[in-house]
Structures are given as C-alpha cells and as structure tokens.
Amino acid sequence: MRGKKFFLIAKIMLLVFLLSDYSVALCSELNGEWKYHEGDLLVAEDKAELWLQSAIANDQEWKSFDFPHQPPLSVNTNVVWLTTTLPKGQYISPLLFFTTTEQSFRVYLDKKMIYQYGDLQYKRFSYGMSWHMVALPEEYEGKNLTFQMYSNYPDRLGIFDRMMLDDSVRQTIRLFQYDAMYVVAFPVTIFMILIMICYYLSMHKHYKLHVYAMIFFSFFALWLVAASNTKLLFLNFPVIWWYLLLLSVYSMPIFLNLTVYEVIEDNKKKKIKLVVAYYIVLALIAIIGECIGLSTMNYLLSPFYISGGIVQSYVAYQLAVSAYRGNEDSKVLLIGLMGLPLAALYDGLGAHFRIVPWVTHVTPLGIFAFAFFILRILSYNVRKEQELTDLALNLQDEIAVVTQKSQIDALTKCYNRNKFNEALEKEVALSSHNASPLSMLMIDIDFFKRINDTYGHDIGDEVLIRFTEVIRTKLDKRHIFIRYGGEEFIILCRDSDKEEASQLAELIRRTVEDSILLEDEKITCSIGVSQWRNTGTNNGNFLKRSDLALYAAKNRGRNKVIVEDEI
C-alpha cells in the first residue's frame, strides 16, 4: 500500500513537471543569432547609448556565440555586451523574462536603455540571484536587444539561466510554474521535520539519527525557499537569499552523511566520518574565505560539485555493501542517497556547468526518496517501541501476579505477613493525610495448639479455612485481612476509631463462637484492639499495643475483646 502511494505521488510530480514544460513551450525563446562584444571597461550611463551606437555601427567588433552558453571571454573579464534581434510574435503586452546570478546589467532596445539592475560596479557581496521582467513596446519586432553586463565573477558573466519572450500574463503564470517543484516539496519537507520532532519528543530513541535528519531537512527547506522565484515577491533581497542558498548547499551534505553514519555498521563508521570531515572543512574554507573577501563560496562551487559526486559515489558504494550484507536501513537510505544527488546533478549540468542548454528543477523531487527512508526508519522504530512496550506491560503483569501470589496465604487466601508492612505503611500515610482514624484488630484462635494435637494438622487447616471464611462475611472494602502467623490474624480498619473497631471485633467474636468450625468442639477467639496515634511514634508501637491488648484478653479467660485502654 505504501509503495502504491509513493508511486502515485511520483506520477503527480511528473505530471506537474510536464505541464510546466508544456506551458514554457508556448512562449518564444530568443534562440536567434547572438553576438558579444568584450569590454575591458565600463561605459557610464550617460555615454552608454552613444557608445552603443558607435559599437553597433562597427559590426566587425561583435562576435557570434552559441546562446545560451557563456560567450568565450578572456580571463578576468568583468564586462561584456550581448546583442540579438527580437523575433516576430503577436503579444498584446510583450514581456521579457530572464534570470541572472551575480550580475548587474543594463538593457537597451535599439540603443535606448529600458531597464537596469544594480550599479555595474564592484560590490563586496555582489548582486545575488534574481529574476527580471522587462516590458517591451508593442513594436518590438526586429529591434536590437542589447545587454551591458558586469560581474565580480568572470565564470558568471554573460549567462542567463533562462530567457523567454511572452505575454505579460503568461510570464507571470510561468513565474509560479517554475516554482511548482519547490511548492510541492516544501510542505513535504516541513511535514517530515514535524514528524521527527514529535517522534524525538515522545520516544527519545535513536535521537542522533533523527536530529541529523531533522537538520538536513531544515537546510533543505531553506534551500527550497532560497532557490525559488516567488520569494522575491515577498522579500526582495537577492543577495541575502543567494548567501542563504549557498549556506544550505554547503551544509546539506554534512548532515546527510551524518545520517548515513548513524545507520551504517560500526566497522564502516570511520570511513563515513572522514567524508563528513571533508565536507565540514570545505564548508569552513568557503565561509571563512567569503568573510575575508575572497569570494570562496562562489568559486568553490565547481570543485564542491565535482568532488561531491565522487565522494557521494563512494558513500553509496559503502551503503550498497552494507545493504548486501543485510542492513535494511542501509538499503532504504541508499535509495535516498542516490535519488537526491542524482536529481541535483541533473539540474547542475544545466544550471551550473552549462553542459546542457536547458535548466531543470527536479532536485526538489529528490527529497521524496530521502523522505521514504525517514518514514521507513520511523515505522520500524515505532514497531520496535510498541514491541518493547508490550513486552514491558507483559512483564509488569507477570510481576504483579508473582507479587500478589507472594503476598497471599495459600491456605486461607488472606494476605500474608509479606503484605503486612506495605499495607500498614500505606494505611498510616492515608490516615495522616486525610486526618482519618485507623484501627487494628489482632485475633488469635483460642487453644488452637490443642486442636492440632488432638485432631491433627489437616483438621487444624480446615478450622483455619472455615475461621477466615466466617470472618470475611463481616468485612468490607475498608478492611484488610492478614494472616500474621499460625493462628494469629490482623485486620486493619480504615476510617474506624477504636470504639467502632471494638464493635466489629465483638461482632466477629460472637459470630465465631456461634459458628460450627469443628464438630463436637466449640471454637472461640480472643481479640485485641488499638488505634493509630499520629504522634510521631513508629508503626511498631501501633502493633505492640494491639498485641498487648490481645495478651490481656487471653489472660482474662479468652473469648474476649480487649481495647488498649482496658489493659
């Protein structure tokens, strides 16, 4: 069932992706002839139109290049001019849509500037990643579209992530369509974070695995927002978003591989630890270098991607070996570890390395593969937790049964002496807390030794059984009936003072006397009564007073009830 749901989600994602591509196909791509003019200096805004007019007139200075690839610029070039002729089209409100990374530029239509982004000069934190919509006049067909571009980074100069000419309404819709994958993946990522938080707070098991995965998903959620287009509609800070994007890119592999570290066997953990250390060192170099002005977060991206592909292949191999040897967690994690990096590599071929002419956005879908691993781990752990809980409950039940058996007298079914101290302590505490009375009856069968000697112990046991059965008929839930030893019994009387307890004792004495417990033999009992005194004295004094009252009843002829005050 889970597999069917997973594939259903995958099909929906594919449909969204295809619909997005279909919508893009309806627009005009500027795939005509593109030319570039490499500039080694910036032209001021007030002189740019005159310079452009002169440059265009001298067509020999312009060279063709394969758009959308980067023009073949000289080393350390920071300025370039790009130009093309706008194609024919029938748009009511034509709009040019494109995205740039770490570039500032001006846009000219037939030598007249119609749009500018940034100051076209060096900036400490550059210009970030941003999309642009440039309105064109209705008579745009056949006119020259020219860009004057500047970048701190020569490897970024003259590159557009995508460029489309279309009606303004469809361009706006396209802006959201580009983010379809991000929109789909974001709630799934947040949902996974919440699941792991709840699991961590409730279970407290395997906490490192889930903390690492939780942090990974958090950085992935940050990356989804930073990489999306629509974020700029709410917070238009391209530079900040760009650095948040880079931070998440450098951080995700660290926590992804820490998750692997928690899953893989102990004999392979050292290898994964080295992989984690590599990513940490690389991230620190990138961040520290950026802070001191070396622009390392941008320049290290290419070696980061290339080395990351090699390193992650090695990690995947270790997981594959682990899975082959029977590690189910490694087998499931291998799916996530393969799915997410492969999706990122596919996007990177177009977005970063420009090896392919198109820019795709399938990386967000890679999170479903990793989420599948997390759900598998959580499901497994929940089952194990439930099994342990059931086992603990069974053990508790067994312990309770054993404990109860150890506190029950096998012959009379009364509580035995093992229960006495526990029951007395509990009842004394309850009496002190509620300020309610507590009394004790100590009962002894008269001349019981003579019964054993005359009739034998089997008959004596029969007498004990019938004796306790008779007494039980006079007790209720307030009374705790205990066989203290031999023929001695104790009854703890909750919410009863010594007067009420003595009345119960007298009722028991008469009932025993009137009952036939042994043919041709009258059986009687003597009872001593005392009341708990909440004066800081110990429980032993309470018991001793009952014992002294019982001793007095025997000395005064037996078959009597004596209260402690009558001693």
- For the segment 483-534, what is each residue's pLDDT rounded down to a tens digit? 998 999 999 999 999 999 999 999 999 999 999 999 888 999 999 999 998 7
The alpha carbon dihedral of 210, 211, 212, 216 has a sign of positive
- Into which CATH architecture does domain 28-67+75-177 fall? Sandwich (2.60)
Tokens found for residue 72: 């073949």
pLDDT grade for 424, boundaries at 50, 70 and 90: very high
Alpha carbon distance 102, 541 (integer Å): 89
Alpha carbon distance 297, 285 (integer Å): 8
pLDDT grade for 7, boundaries at 50, 70 and 90: very low
Overall CATH class of domain 417-566: alpha beta
- pLDDT average, residue stretch 190-205: 76
Which pLDDT does position 206 carry in this prediction? 63
CB under 8 Å to 544, separation ≥6 — which residues?
none
- pLDDT average, residue stretch 238-247: 92
pLDDT grade for 6, boundaries at 50, 70 and 90: very low
Which pLDDT does position 207 carry in this prediction? 75
Q: Which amino acid is at 352?
A: H
Tokens found for residue 152: 């701190």
CB under 8 Å to 503, separation ≥6 — which residues?
none
Asked whether residue 471 carries a pLDDT value surpassing 90, the answer given is yes
Question: For the chain, which residues make up each domain, given as ranges?
Answer: 28-67+75-177, 179-386, 417-566
CB under 8 Å to 482, separation ≥6 — which residues?
414, 415, 416, 417, 419, 420, 423, 489, 490, 491, 492
Q: Is 487 noted as a catalytic residue in this protein?
A: yes
CB under 8 Å to 143, separation ≥6 — which residues?
85, 86, 109, 110
Cβ contact 283:309 at 8 Å: no
CA neighbor of 220 nearest in space, from 195, 196, 194, 256: 256
Which pLDDT does position 281 carry in this prediction? 96
Q: Measured between alpha carbons, how far is residue 231 from residues 127, 171, 180, 395, 461 in Å?
A: 16, 16, 13, 55, 88
Q: Which amino acid is at 511?
A: T
Cβ contact 295:289 at 8 Å: yes
pLDDT grade for 478, boundaries at 50, 70 and 90: very high
Cβ contact 189:217 at 8 Å: yes
Which pLDDT does position 462 carry in this prediction? 94
| Most confident residue range from 109-118, 123-132, 343-352, 549-558 | 549-558
Cβ contact 553:528 at 8 Å: yes
Task: Kindly name the residue from 102, 290, 427, 487 that is annotated as catalytic.
Answer: 487
Q: How many CB atoms lie within 10 A of CB 292?
A: 8
Total residues found in the chain within this entry: 567
- pLDDT average, residue stretch 180-202: 84
Average pLDDT, the chain: 84
- pLDDT average, residue stretch 359-387: 74
Asked whether residue 298 carries a pLDDT value surpassing 50, the answer given is yes
Which pLDDT does position 13 carry in this prediction? 45
Q: Which CATH number applies to 179-386?
A: 1.20.1070
Asked whether residue 326 carries a pLDDT value surpassing 80, the answer given is yes
Lowest mean pLDDT segment, chosen from 138-142, 390-394, 425-429, 560-564: 390-394
User: Degrees (nearest 5) of the Cα angle 42, 297, 160?
Assistant: 50
Q: Which residues pair with 488 in a beta bridge?
A: 444, 485
CA neighbor of 551 nearest in space, from 451, 444, 450, 468: 444
Q: Is the link from the previous residue into 87 a cis peptide, with omega within 30 of 0?
A: no
Cβ contact 188:367 at 8 Å: yes
Cβ contact 187:367 at 8 Å: no
The alpha carbon dihedral of 542, 543, 546, 547 has a sign of negative
59-110: pLDDT as tens digits: 667 899 988 888 999 888 899 999 999 988 778 889 999 999 899 999 999 8
Cβ contact 151:118 at 8 Å: no
pTM for this prediction: 0.62
536 versus 393: the higher-pLDDT residue is: 393
